[in-house]
Structure 1
Amino acid sequence: MVEDESLVAMLLETILEDMGCTPVGPISNIDEALSTLAGGVEIDAA
């Protein structure tokens, strides 16, 4: 997930983990997100 507000990111991460997801991040901007994806991280939702 890409979220620049740290408290919102932490809340979303907790919600996703409670749903059985494994969040990638935290990632706070699009450049970090693109770099992470280019590094070969597998994602199954966006």
Structure 2
Amino acid sequence: ISMLQVTGHSVAVGNAEEHVKRIAKEVCDTNEKDGVAKWIEANVL
């Protein structure tokens, strides 16, 4: 949680706990649906 609050941009996976998703700036797809990889492809690469 503290890392999400300190960073300029935070992303939580869709199946994270609700309090984590509320703190994150964005919520990507779940880990079962490769949410992190999809987010990186769309926003970093």
TM-score (norm 2): 0.38
- The answer to which structure, 1 or 2, has the higher relative contact order (CA under 8 A, 6+ apart) is 1
TM-score (norm 1): 0.38
